[in-house]
Amino acid sequence: MKYKRILLKLSGEALMGNRQYGIDNDRLKEYAAEIKKVVDKGCQVAIVIGGGNIFRGLAGAAKGMDRVQGDYMGMLATVINGMALQGALEDAGIFTRLQSAIEMDKVAEPFIKRKATRHLEKGRVVIFGAGTGNPYFTTDTAATLRAIEIGADVILKGTRVDGIYDSDPEKNDDAVKFNSLTFDEVYEKGLKVMDMTAFTLSHENNLPIIVFDMNKEGNLLKIVEGENIGTLVNVNKEK
Give the residue ranges of the annotated binding site: 9-12, 51-52, 56, 71, 132-139, 159, 165, 168
Q: What is the dihedral of CA 127, 221, 163, 180, to 10 degrees?
A: 110
Sheet of 180-182: strand order equals 109-110, 96-100, 125-129, 44-49, 5-10, 154-159, 209-213, 231-234, 180-182
Q: Give the span between the Cα atoms of 37 and 43, in whole angstroms.
A: 9
Binding positions for ATP are 9-12, 52, 56, 159, 165, 168
For the packed helices 139-150 and 196-204, what is the interaxial angle rounded to 10 degrees? 20
Nearest partner of 48 among 222, 181, 209, 231, judged by Cα: 209
Which residues carry a binding-site annotation for UMP? 51, 71, 132-139
* Crossing angle between the packed helical segments 113-121 and 139-150, to the nearest 10 degrees: 70
